[in-house]
Amino acid sequence: MSDTITEVNKDTFWALIGQAKEHPGGPGEWLMEQLVDMGPEQAKRFDTMARVYMDLAYQYGLWTAASVMERYGCSDDGFIDFRAWLVGQGKAVYMAALADPDSLAGAADYQDQRFSFLPYVGDCAYEELTGWGAYQDFDPAGYQALKAELERDIVYGDGINYPYDLADIPAYVPRLCAKYLTPEQIQDLTQSRGCTWNLTSPEILAARQNAKKSEKIKDKKGIER
């Protein structure tokens, strides 16, 4: 085991998750103990950092990947759970997914949800230490500053914030489709004219108007659809 961590920063955050996942006694219990020992300030720091990383993963391309991994369909609550699972996979998987959601074909099976709760342990530790939840001491300015800091380390893949039509999915995340869907399901997607997004949402409409599709999505003539 590595040296004991006493302060949470963007490096030790991921180190704690990595150590927790390797701990034979149970990742949640071990991480909870570490954060309680560090005290309320560090527990809250861990909680805030986890929430920022989940926020930074709010990308429509990742939502598309989550829908495939859910064997097709992912609700708002399901996408929260997915982003928690993603952070719980550790830094390498997380960063690779934001660069290319299809890389998640090489990650642990999504049905293995043992580590999806890890990003929430900081709030539990903070509540145990103080008697109230970390969000009750929410600092909007501090949150935005941390978000800007952590975002500088992320390389987002092309087309990651476009809300894809069903027919685009097999081209956007082919390896995920091959892992989680049957050939018949993939064929149905390819031939579909449907869209599961709420096209009355201003946010979705703006993304479809302003964001670009991935370069992986081409028609037979090689022109972006």
Instruction: Give the lowest-confidence range in 43-52, 112-121, 123-132, 178-187.
Output: 112-121
Question: pLDDT at position 222, please?
Answer: 43
Q: Look-up: residue for tokens 């090489």?
A: 106
Question: pLDDT at position 2, please?
Answer: 53
Whether 1 shows a pLDDT value over 70: the answer reads no
pLDDT tier for residue 201 given thresholds of 50, 70 and 90: very high
pLDDT digits (tens, 9 = 90+) for 6-43: 999 999 999 999 999 888 777 889 999 999 999 999 99
- How is the chain split into domains, by residue range? 10-210
Whether 225 shows a pLDDT value over 70: the answer reads no
Nearest to 104 by CA among 72, 51, 64, 73: 64
Total-model pTM:
0.92
Nearest to 115 by CA among 26, 14, 11: 26
DSSP state of 157: P
Question: pLDDT at position 221, please?
Answer: 35
Q: What is the mean pLDDT of the chain?
A: 91
Q: Are 199 and 94 in contact (CB under 8 A)?
A: no
Question: pLDDT at position 79, please?
Answer: 94
Cβ atoms within 10 Å of 50's Cβ, excluding its own: 24
Question: pLDDT at position 172, please?
Answer: 97
Nearest to 158 by CA among 208, 206, 215, 207: 215
Question: pLDDT at position 4, please?
Answer: 83
pLDDT digits (tens, 9 = 90+) for 116-143: 888 899 999 999 999 998 888 888 999 9
Whether 149 shows a pLDDT value over 90: the answer reads yes
Whether 97 shows a pLDDT value over 80: the answer reads yes
Nearest to 52 by CA among 159, 134, 158: 134
pLDDT digits (tens, 9 = 90+) for 52-95: 999 999 999 999 999 999 987 899 999 999 999 999 999 999 99
